Amino acid sequence: MAKEVVKKIKLEIQAGKATPAPPVGTVLGPAGINLQEFCTKFNDATRDKMGDVVPCEISIYDDRTFDFVLKTPPAGFLLKKVAKIQKGSSKGANQIVATISEADLRSIAETKLPDLNAYTVDEAMNIIEGTARNMGIAVSGRTDKELAEQAKEALEEEKEMQKREAELSQMEEEAASKEEIDVPVIGEEDKNEEESE
């Protein structure tokens, strides 16, 4: 009789470094599986990928046994690793923080191909290129010129906004410094005339 899957859990753990301590223990403890057994199996399976973050999909069965499937590292992680940066741009495509080569892009696409919704390496490259763009990573020969122009435009827009804000605050200061002028309310004169009649 086939075992019934009662729970599926997705985790991202550093290769070869799973321990029963949090976050692994916190997530898997309530599921009732043997944490030490999971950590040993995971570390053995990922020993060759040391330094990478490896997503893992764990299927837990009704008798508290488990299976897990290893996925490829996240595209963002691979892009940061190749670009040698700690984090992507805080302004997305409007700020270039690094540039990678087209060969690096192809290498990442080939690695990620099994987990992507793509049939060819070229399609996978387009997906990874989009992720890179959103992280502020340019691909030399493909997006570097376009992203540089976009970053330049964003910088000009930012300067324009700062200029407008400065003008606005100046106008507000001028308005506050002027004396309040008595402005007659329209309609008041008509009322006074009617009352006197």
Residue 31, in any domain of the structure: yes
Q: What is the pLDDT of residue 113?
A: 82
pLDDT digits (tens, 9 = 90+) for 150-169: 667 777 777 788 888 888 88
Instruction: Count the domains in the chain.
Output: 2
Mean pLDDT across the chain:
78
Based on the domain organization, do 64 and 80 belong to the same domain?
A: no
What tokens were used for 17? 């470094």
Q: Is the residue at 151 inside a domain?
A: no
- What pTM was estimated for this model as a whole? 0.58
Domain-located, residue 38? yes
Evaluate whether residue 129 is within a structural domain: yes
Q: Does residue 54 sit in the same domain as residue 84? A: no
Is there a domain that residue 176 lies in? no
Q: Which of 44, 70, 96 is the last residue of a domain?
A: 70
CA distance 142 to 100: 10
Residue labelled with tokens 């976050």: 23
pLDDT for 122 equals 84
Q: Classify residue 187: in a domain, yes or no.
A: no
Q: What pLDDT band is residue 101 in, cutting at 50, 70 and 90? A: confident
Work out the angle at residue 52's Cα, subtended by the Cα atoms of residues 82 and 114, and round it to the nearest 5 degrees. 85
- Asked if residue 63 is part of any domain, the answer here is yes
Residue 32 pLDDT grade (very low, low, confident, very high; cuts 50, 70, 90): confident
Report the percentage of the chain scoring pLDDT > 90.
0
Last residue of a domain, one of 128, 146, 164: 146
Are 66 and 85 in a shared domain? no
Q: Roughly what angle, to the nearest 10 degrees, separates helices 102-112 and 121-135?
A: 110
**15, 47 Cβ separation under 8 angstroms:** yes
Residues 124 and 111 grouped into a single domain: yes
Domain containing 52 — which CATH number?
A: 3.30.1550.10
Taking residue 115's Cβ as centre, other Cβ atoms within 10 Å add up to 14
Work out the average pLDDT over 109-125: 83
Measure the CA–CA gap between 111 and 124, rounded to whole angstroms: 10
Task: Report the sign of the C-alpha dihedral through residues 14, 18, 22, 27, in that order.
Answer: positive
For residue 82, give its domain range: 75-146
